[in-house]
Amino acid sequence: MRIFAVASALLFTSIFASVGFAQDSTNQTTDSVVQKAQELESKLNSSDTVKEISAGLLQPIYDLAQYMAHPWFYWAAFAVMATGVVSFALQLVLTKFLLLVRMKMSMTEILSDGLGLLISLTGLVLVTQAAAQNSTFTGSPAAVVSAAAVGLIVGFVFYLWGQKTEFKAAKDAKIIQQDSRPRM
């Protein structure tokens, strides 16, 4: 919650600073937002209802995690997360660069690929952390390297598939744009 409060305060500060509000006013606003967020966090953390909701959300996930805590699960999860990281990173760097050269880039696609990369990278970190604590997966170099290799190969295949899809969409948008121009 504190991270959320600080991030919100920084965003709020940057918005007001960019439109020309005085720095003192912005700092006071930031301090106020952080203070209110901390008060809200304290109230929520002490609420029995919020504690019950939190436990209700987390318990099925904990139960599933305990049931699935096998090296093969961590191998598969690591490979899937590595696939996402490779695919989305290549989409963001290579495909968007090629589309930029052709002047057919979609901000929605950039945000979507960025979110996919963030989710995959976060998942990869969390899977690795959970595997290190609950499994023998990270203790087996062969398992880690094979999962990473599968993730790399499958991620590259998904990248090629996504690139083809984006190029087709850009081409189709160009055709639609040309058809909508008035003819003389």
pLDDT attached to residue 146: 95
Domain segments of the chain as ranges: 2-46, 70-179
pLDDT attached to residue 77: 92
Return the axis-axis angle of helices 141-179 and 71-90, rounded to nearest 10°.
40
pLDDT in tens, 120-163: 999 999 999 988 888 888 899 999 999 999 999 999 999 999 88
| Spatial CA neighbour of 75 closest among 152, 143, 145 | 143
pLDDT attached to residue 182: 60
Cα–Cα distance for residue pair 106/111, rounded to 1 Å = 9
pLDDT attached to residue 70: 85
pLDDT in tens, 50-100: 889 988 988 998 888 888 888 899 999 999 999 999 999 998 888 888 777
Cα–Cα distance for residue pair 184/182, rounded to 1 Å = 7
pLDDT in tens, 1-45: 555 555 555 555 555 555 555 556 667 777 788 888 888 888 888
Percent of the chain beyond pLDDT 70? 78
